[in-house]
Amino acid sequence: DSDVGRSITDLAERLLGIELVDDVNQVLHTLQRRERQLHVAQHDAWYLLCVLPYRTLEDVIDGVVVTFVDITELKASEEQAARLAAIVTSSQDAIYSQTLDRVITSWNAGAESVYGYAAEEALGRSVDDLLVPIDRTGLFLAKGIANLVFIVLVEVLIVPVFVVLFDLDVGSWPI
């Protein structure tokens, strides 16, 4: 209640490092909501700032509504997901994911080198179209349970007379 009736500039001074007055002026000028993510370093916290025009029952703009939503946990989860994605993306192991219909939805650099298809070629295609049995083209076929992430570690030894031996270690986990 102590902030009711106070100027937004007084409130903005207490919120370090944000241009709240500019946001308010823009919303009042355009009548469009404005959202931004803010990091408050002194508390190591993240907030979603949302500024909306305030309309009375008579449909008259009579100020703005300013909300702050604590998104600190969300940002931490996003950072963790980005770290894990970087591990999968840069792995030399073939890692891909597929839908229940066996359509490829992700394909890392390891899968590119093991299977010979660029991600652009593999994404959206059926696993069955890309990975065929060894007796047909010499490529390994990863037949597995639908909707799993496959991690395939392949050591290939090519010996004379074109015999290919595989030392294969496969792990899969539901997503």
The mean per-residue pLDDT over the stretch 28-36 comes to: 92
Residue 125 has what pLDDT?
92
Whether the Cβ atoms of residue 129 and residue 155 lie closer than 8 Å to each other: no
DSSP 92-117: SSEEEEE-TT-BEEEE-HHHHHHH--
What confidence category does residue 15 fall into, taking pLDDT thresholds of 50, 70 and 90?
low
For the cut 70, the answer to whether the pLDDT of residue 147 exceeds it is: no
Q: How many CA atoms lie within 13 A of 38 on its CB side?
A: 21
> What is the tally of helices (H) and strands (E) in the chain?
7, 7
Strands laid side by side in the 34-40 sheet = 34-40, 45-55, 61-70
Q: What is the per-residue pLDDT for 29? A: 93
Residue 93, CA atoms < 13 Å, CB-side half-sphere: 14
- Tell me what pLDDT residue 120 has: 94
Task: Choose between 141 and 174: higher pLDDT.
Answer: 174
pTM, full prediction: 0.55
Bridge partners (DSSP) of residue 59 are none
Res 122: pLDDT = 92
Q: Residues 34, 47: contact at Cβ < 8 Å?
A: no
CB 142 within 8 A of CB 93: no
Average pLDDT of the chain, as a whole number: 75
Tens-place pLDDT, residues 43-100? 889 999 899 999 999 989 988 888 889 999 999 999 999 998 898 888 888 888 888 8
